[in-house]
């Protein structure tokens, strides 16, 4: 997906039409076919009833939510008009939308998976059950484990007979305790158990950079292997995803889905994000701006015949990422581009002031909040 920027640097933009309403995908935007699937018409977070709810669902159940070719998750979203995002490798599923729709989706997921889904905290109990007893817990065609789950409302995962592991029970504390008693009764013994509690939150990447560290680095594109054996875009994404408090973005073009996904995940972690962008580029084919806006990220655009041509991001008011690099696939794979990454306090401070000044100015324009 390339940028539609004109070669003439001072050429005015063509007269633009009114940007689509918040929550309306830009014309030509591709459907999201990742861990997050975005339905058409999902209400923006500016609505006071819009919520983002993290649910505790064991990873072994995620495939039941997705369905073959994503059919199940798409149907769930279409039926309730929500966005469902599965945090890969974690026990977290995020549902976003109007409160009543999110609650309805939680009930549907609970019915689909056959256990009570947790918010806030999920309890896990691991049982040291001999593999010879797995069959007794599962029962013929899964009849016993299904009955235990229905009666206790806990999620139960039993390893296959050839696997080394433990029987894992997940859910509310009371549901897990009921399930332990039911399993003990079924196998006529009381195996050793280990209980843990997990906070259900969207976590920061484990390989993030410490933005308190001094940095003075330049990334050059097209994408290539850097001295630290990482691809250039991976370094860029790691820095962008390392924010802990706030992320201010001022970008001409955003059509790269990988970059948009990192921004969305930061948003789900509770990071305060603001985006300034060019109004015409926001409507270009493959643009991700309205996807961010639909998820509830504040966006302000220029309404000039000229371009809002900046390309920078401020991470936690500590690190600046700035350069020629447009946030597009073509810029990653083909263009000669650069991104400077700096923790220089004087430089960062000037960009912080400029961003706030521009944010305030654009906030006075019709259609910007």
Q: Which of 316, 318, 345, 357 is catalytic?
A: 316
Q: What are 42's two structure tokens?
A: 């999902």
The whole-angstrom separation of Cα 58 and Cα 37 is 19
Q: Which of 227, 309, 344, 369 is catalytic?
A: 309
The whole-angstrom separation of Cα 110 and Cα 131 is 28
Q: Judge contact between 210 and 234, C-beta under 8 A.
A: no
- Of 110, 185, 210, whose CA–CA distance to 150 is shortest? 110
- Side by side, the strands of the sheet bearing 216-221 are 216-221, 337-342, 319-323, 311-315, 246-251, 272-277, 299-301
Strands 83-86 and 118-119, by their bridges, are unpaired
Strands 272-277 and 246-251, by their bridges, are parallel
Is 283 among the catalytic positions? no
Between CA 91 and CA 97, with CA 95 as vertex, the angle to 5 degrees is 170
Is 124 among the catalytic positions? no
Residue 96, C-beta contacts closer than 8 angstroms, at least 6 positions apart: 42, 45, 50, 51, 52, 53, 82, 83, 85, 102, 295, 296
Is 309 among the catalytic positions? yes
- Of 243, 238, 223, whose CA–CA distance to 331 is shortest? 223
Q: Which of 45, 106, 291, 311 is catalytic?
A: 311
The whole-angstrom separation of Cα 290 and Cα 42 is 11
Q: Which residues are catalytic?
A: 309, 311, 316
């Amino acid at each position: 997906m390339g940028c539609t920027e004109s070669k003439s640097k001072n050429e005015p933009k063509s007269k633009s039409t009114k940007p689509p309403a918040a929550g309306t995908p830009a014309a030509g935007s591709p459907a999201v076919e990742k861990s997050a699937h975005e339905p058409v018409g999902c209400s923006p977070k500016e609505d006071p009833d819009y919520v983002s709810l993290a649910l505790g669902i064991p990873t072994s159940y995620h495939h039941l939510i997705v369905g073959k070719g994503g059919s199940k998750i798409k149907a769930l979203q279409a039926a309730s008009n929500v966005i469902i995002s599965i945090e890969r490798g974690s026990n977290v599923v995020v549902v976003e939308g109007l409160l009543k729709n999110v609650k309805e989706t939680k009930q549907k997921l609970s019915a689909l998976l056959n256990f009570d889904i947790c918010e806030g905290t999920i309890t896990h109990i691991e049982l040291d059950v001999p593999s010879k007893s797995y069959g007794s817990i599962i029962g013929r065609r899964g009849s016993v484990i299904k009955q235990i789950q229905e009666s206790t409302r806990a999620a139960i995962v039993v390893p296959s007979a050839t696997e080394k592991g433990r029987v894992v029970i997940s859910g509310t504390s009371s549901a897990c305790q009921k399930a332990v008693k039911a399993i003990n009764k079924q196998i006529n013994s009381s195996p050793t158990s280990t209980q843990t509690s997990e906070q259900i939150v969207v976590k920061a990447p484990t390989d993030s950079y410490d933005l308190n560290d001094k940095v003075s680095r330049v990334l050059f594109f097209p994408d290539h292997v850097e001295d630290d054996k990482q691809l250039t875009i991976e370094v860029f994404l790691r820095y962008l995803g390392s924010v802990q408090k706030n992320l201010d973005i001022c970008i001409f073009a955003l059509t790269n889905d990988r970059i948009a996904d990192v921004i969305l995940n930061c948003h789900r972690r509770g990071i305060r994000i603001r985006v300034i962008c060019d109004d015409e580029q926001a409507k270009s084919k493959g643009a991700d701006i309205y996807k961010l806006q639909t998820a509830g990220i504040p966006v302000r655009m220029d309404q000039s015949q000229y371009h809002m041509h900046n390309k920078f991001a401020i991470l936690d008011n500590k690190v600046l990422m700035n350069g020629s690099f447009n946030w597009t696939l073509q810029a990653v794979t083909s263009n000669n581009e650069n991104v400077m990454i700096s923790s220089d306090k004087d430089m960062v401070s000037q960009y912080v002031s400029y961003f706030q000044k521009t944010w305030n100015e654009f906030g006075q324009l019709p259609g910007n909040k």
